Structure 1
Amino acid sequence: MTETATASRAQRFRARIPVVLVWYCRIVALASMLSALSPRTNERIDQLPDYILFSLGFLLGVPSIGFGVLMLMLGAAVRRRKRIAWWLLMVLGLFVGPLGWLAISALLYDVTASDLRPLAPLIVAFVVQAVFIGLVIWARKEFYAVFDAANFRLALVVLAVSFALSTVLGVTLVAWNDATATTDLGDQALYTLKAGMAGTGIWWYDTAVEVPHWVDVTVNLIGSVMILAVAWALFQPRRGTYRHLAEDDDRLRTLLDKFGDQDSLGYFNLRRDKAVVWSPSGKAAIAYRPVGGVSLASGDPIGDVEAWPGAIEAWLAEARQHAWVPAVMGASEEGGKVLTRFGLDAVELGDEAVVEVEEFTLEGRAMRGVRQAYNRVERAGYRTRIRRHAEIPADEMAALVRRADDWRDGSVERGFSMALGRLGDPADGQCVMVECLDGEGALRALLSFVPWGTKGLSLDLMRRERGTENGLVEFMVIDLIKAGPEHKVERISLNFAMFRSIFERAGRIGAGPFLRLARVVLSVFSRWWQLESLYRANMKYRPVWEPRYLCFPKARDLARIAIAAGRAEGFLAIPTPRVFRRRRELEPLRKD
């Protein structure tokens, strides 16, 4: 029992070592950048013996903004338990410090006993370095995030390009401000290399170059940008080159046939840009996409609720292996409760509007506006046609797809958590198409719904021709509700309204200043993202509001998750050169 307790304490201590190393990297980064900005750094360095200089460099960094930036990047990689970070810590521990100084000196110079005086600081530095290396070696198993070989190739390309650019800029700046007439281009290039890569005054060679301190700082900043670019490429999160496999699709459809009634977002997990991880029993699965270092899932796990924990554990384990931040968008209340048992936190993201077909009515004062809009569109001669996708001939479906693309707002297909991302695929034959035709039989709008189990539908696509009659969408939705019993549809999930509770509560009597301020802020963002308009559009149908949650590990990860979600949903687009886009299109859909 005592041995077990001791082993447990040792494991807990080992698990905390990366946290200590993160703070070590941050402290060294701060000391390095502050010393690089000090104009008297060179004077202080000249007064120190070489071995003490290297010892201080190991403990407190070097006077270089670039080195400070690198240490910050290294600290971030250590926090995410990247294997490459462990290797860099080992390089730092072995070659930066008195051990590295002795190795270099033994190779290049004759080291005598007088070079090691005073001896006490050297002994202390050796002990600190040995403890550091020992802790890093002991904590090796804590660095489990695999390294992507593509990152190394990308880092080499970035290094070559950025080194060439920074050298040209740095040498030009040094040559322009050099006050010594006897120096040549070689001296200026060496000085640029010294100032840009490691900070001034710490290398064993010297030059006659004389430039103002602001030139040193500027050249070091240029070198810092280069180091930052290379470190960014090296520490990029593993991209996850695998996609939705055909066998995954078949197994997911089998689960949806049995458990599809549980979640209105279940069918959207058939998107082909989502990878799938399975529970050990194969009775549950989670579909996700790696985006910017985030393993982004949506909705609840698919399958038997009792098998959800196995799928969640497998998903979290894969996220840890690749140093991804796990996050779930749009989890239901039940799904959120299960996810929180595995260390994730949950915050309400908004509400999903669900219309119960049997309970819906156009009667009553509350539905007066919707009723009038419906009657107005009907009098204008519009009508709807409702069919399953499998009932639509191929040529008609192709024409519908073309019209939908023509009516799309912008060139990017938006949607991830509540959009299928395709239209007219033969595999989606049970989806429902609602077409709106004018009095002459011309198509003016369309809606597409995916199956929600066997008795429900979930809105996937909404497109209409610009300049058409207001109220077309309401007309189509109401006709679908009326036709629900004919198509054996009992409930329909409409658009998702983010922050619905804020808009609703802020409009009530007695709403506090914080709620009103939050509504004002959200109304500003609604100009781009339709936050309030979606809420009001859904409210017309008097739906049942089902809360949806965002699940995440730490509050510090929310910014990264928000950016990843914006990219996945199509609201944030990162420009990509055409050659890389073409490469991604040709990339085989396989697992590593």
Structure 2
Amino acid sequence: MPAKLRSVAAHGTVWYLRLIALLNLVAVVVSPFRTTVRHHSEGEYFTPYMLTLGLATAVLSLFLAVAMRRRKRAAWIFNFGLGGLTFLFYVLGLALPGDSHYDRHGFNYVSTVLTGLFMLCLVVGRKEFTSKGDRSNFWTAVATFFGGLLFGGLVGSVLVEMFNTLSGAGFGDRFRYAVFRMITVTPSDRVLDVINVPSWVNTFINAMGAVLILLVIYVAFRSPRGKELLTPEDEQKLRELLERQGDRDSLGYFATRRDKAVIFSPTGKAAVTYRVVGGVSLASGDPIGDPEAWPGAIELWLAEAREHAWAPAVTGASEEAGVIYARHGLDALELGDEAIVELDEFSLEGRAMRVVRQAYNRVKRAGYTVRIRRHEAIPEEEMAELLDKADRWRDGQTERGFSMALGRLGDPADGRCVMLECHDADGELRALLSFVPWGDKGLSLDLMRRDRESENGLVEFMVIELLEKGGEEVQLERVSLNFAMFRSVFERGSRLGAGPVLRLWRGVLGFFSRWWQIESLYRANAKYRPIWEPRYLLFEKSSEIPRIGIANARAEGFITAPSLPTLFRRRHRRPPASAAGAPLPTAEGGGDG
């Protein structure tokens, strides 16, 4: 069968379910249409597959449409089973003798034909639905169903006990009443003589049943969480690629985060690292390795995403990588700019650097000094003290970072990282910065911590010390500083003649900067007069941008999703400390604004 015909049939099932969801929603809000649908559903006329009435059915239809659009095999099986039974019921109803309960009304034939066409599209487009679900989904859905019934039955029985106007109902009667209302909307006839509650109690119990059904369907159709995370062998291969091509991307070293998975190209010369967050396969930075081998790794990554119905996305990609990803069907949205300082072009001289120069000299006169050295040169006991101070100075309980943070300060495998330690006039440690390697002669900022009671301007003082003395200490030529999200908006929005839309957008970002340091990061970087390198968010479908944005915020640590206790987490643990270093801490990320 032609692939184009299969694709058209698959799209047809999606649009059918979307239309049914819309009609169900109309039936909820429009009384005459709701009465007609109820008359057909409960009387002798048929209604097309999935068209009943009620908000729960509307949400269910829309949920199935989303699952079918993502080509989930489980959704196809569900629709084929339920739709097939519905179609068979309609055919038998029309085939019965004329004096049967069902009339051979014209609307019955229309409903049968529409349901039959939906089934035909399912059969024709069957091979299009190849996305796999998690193997544990079925049993998790079963456990969710019975656990939800137990919880809803207990809550419902308490409400019935409190508001029942009749007497004689035991716990079993109340529990049965609640469970039957959750499943069938109508209570068992056996308990009607002893239970009479206000209508709002029945509505609340019915709502719990609707929520339970939607929750069970969500669990049954959800995408897999992801495969085994980075192994020591994978990390070693990535480090070998970074040794050969590590100077291409300032974010390359962050690919060795051990909470990511990796896919190598068929030749092994390139790799894409990613993490699955909320059904999004989120890659970060550029692919690692030889750019000529990037397409092979990208194709395998996209194939895996489609196999599991994950939404593919890349955060923090460079323009070079964006062009390669675009050839594979991904679109781009500019996220912001990365601040890069070339040491041979940096100078504190000139009027433009007057404020920075004054702050630097003020801190220097106060007796502060900076020590620069590789992690491998720091004795173990000193590193333990630095880790303790870094943990105490952390702003909040949640570590932040994914695309531009390593998340494992002091790991023995990261000996080439560079540590800056700032001491006051009394020799007390007051701040520290940690940078990861960017090729042989570059560094990229990983972690930034300081004592909140110390002198203002310590971070600027340390960065300038690195820029002025880094070439002598660690043979440095360039430094990548913080990423400035939406930098161009702040820069252009403050210029004379900026339009109202740009000014409004700048105002909105300024408002959110009160919590997320969006504008302050831009201004903190701009003072060094860096080279701004744009970074992009890459995505396959515009409709997935909100979902990708939430996944990105979760990965970076700005949003913390509720999680089950550690005992029930299905997480692949890395083996104990090996040649590649210690396991990743439970806290996520490493950067701290």
Taking structure 1 as the reference length, the TM-score comes to: 0.88
Q: Are 1:15 and 2:1 matched, yes or no?
A: no
Question: TM (normalized to structure 2)?
Answer: 0.88
Cα–Cα, structure 1 residues 582 and 86, in superposed 2: closer, same or farther, change >3 Å? closer
Q: Does 1:525 align with 2:512?
A: yes
SS across alignment from 2:344: coil
Secondary structure at 1:576's aligned position in 2? Answer: coil
Structure 2 partner of 1:88: 78
* CA gap 1:46/1:290 in 2 versus in 1, 3 angstroms: closer
User: Following superposition of structure 1 onto structure 2, how do residues 397-546 of structure 1 map, counting pairs within 5 Å?
Assistant: 397-486=383-472, 487-546=474-533
> In 2, Cα distance between the equivalents of 1:42 and 1:260?
63
Query: CA offset at residue 80 of structure 1?
Result: 1.1
**2:142 aligned with 1:159, yes or no?**
no
Q: Does 1:114 align with 2:104?
A: no
* Partners of 1:483 and 1:500 in 2: CA distance: 28
Q: 1:195 to 1:357 in 2, by over 3 A?
A: same
Asked if structure 2 preserves the Cα contact closer than 8 Å seen for 1:66 and 1:197, the reply is no
Deviates most, 545-554 or 480-489: 480-489
- Report Cα offsets for 1:198-251 as digits up to 9, x if no partner: 5669x9999899988767654432321111221222222210141001111111
Cα distance change of structure 1 residues 375 and 447 upon mapping to structure 2, 3 Å threshold: same
Select the residue among 148, 156, 169 that pairs with 2:134. Answer: 148
Q: Cα deviations across residues 263-301 of structure 1 (Å, max 9, x unaligned)? A: 000000000001001111111110000000111111111
Q: Distance in 2 between matches of 1:12 and 1:218?
A: 47
Deviations 1:416-470 (A, max 9, x none): 0000011111111111111111122211111110010111000001010111011
Aligned to 2:260: 274
Compared with structure 1, are the counterparts of its residues 173 and 448 closer, same or farther at alpha carbon in structure 2 (3 Å cutoff)?
closer
SS of aligned partner of 1:237: coil
Alignment of 1:163-562 (within 5 A): 163-169=149-155, 196-197=182-183, 217-486=203-472, 487-562=474-549
- What CA RMSD, in Å, does the superposition of the two structures yield over aligned residues? 3.4
Taking structure 1 as reference, are residues 62 and 396 closer, same or farther at Cα in structure 2, changes over 3 Å only? same
The 8 Å contact of residues 95 and 101 in structure 1, kept in 2 or not, is answered as no
Give the secondary structure class of the aligned counterpart of 1:457: strand
Match of 1:31 in 2: 23
* 1:587 CA displacement: 7.4
SS at match of 1:238: coil
Partner Cα separation in structure 1 for residue 10 and residue 238 of structure 2? 39
The answer to whether structure 1 residue 99 and structure 2 residue 89 are counterparts is: yes
Q: Provide the secondary structure at the position in 1 that maps to 2:132.
A: coil
Q: Secondary structure at the match of 2:372?
A: strand
Separation in 2, partners of 1:189, 1:582: 31
Contact 2:152 2:179 in 1 (8 A): no
2-side partners of 1:569 and 1:28: how far apart? 38
Paired with 1:428 and 1:418, the residues of 2 have a C-alpha distance of 15
Structure 1 contact 415–569 (Cα < 8 Å) conserved = yes
Cα 1:571–1:157 shift into 2, 3 Å: same
Is the aligned partner of 1:73 residue 2:60?
no
Kindly provide the amino acid, as one letter, of the partner of residue 243 in structure 2: D
Q: SS of the residue aligned with 1:311?
A: helix
Q: Which moved more, 1:186-195 or 1:573-582?
A: 186-195
Check whether the contact 1:414–1:571 (CA below 8 A) recurs between aligned residues. yes
Instruction: Work out the number of aligned pairs and report it.
Output: 574
Instruction: Please report how far the alpha carbon of residue 67 of structure 1 lies from its aligned counterpart in structure 2 after TM superposition.
Output: 2.8
- SS of residue matched to 2:143: helix
Partner SS, residue 358 of structure 1: helix
Counterpart AA for 2:488: S
Q: Aligned to 1:575, what secondary structure does the other structure show? A: coil
Aligned partners of 2:278 and 2:18: how far apart in 1? 23
Q: In structure 2, how many angstroms separate the alpha carbons of the residues matched to 1:238 and 1:381?
A: 55
Any stretches of 5+ residues in structure 2 without a counterpart? 577-582, 584-593
* Structure 2 Cα separation of the partners of residues 410 and 575 of structure 1: 17
Whole-Å Cα distance in 2 between the matches of residues 447 and 246 of structure 1? 27
For the residue of structure 1 that corresponds to 2:471, the secondary structure is coil
Structure 1: 5+ residue runs without aligned partners?
1-6
Cα 1:588–1:158 change in 2 (3 A) is farther
Task: Find the counterpart in structure 2 of residue 61 from structure 1.
Answer: 51
Do the aligned partners of 1:51 and 1:98 also contact (CA within 8 Å) in 2?
no
Stretch of structure 1 that moved more, 179-188 or 333-342: 179-188
Cα distance in 1, alignment partners of residues 399 and 299 from structure 2 = 32
Letter in 1 for 2:487: R
Distance 1:117 1:585 in 2: 56
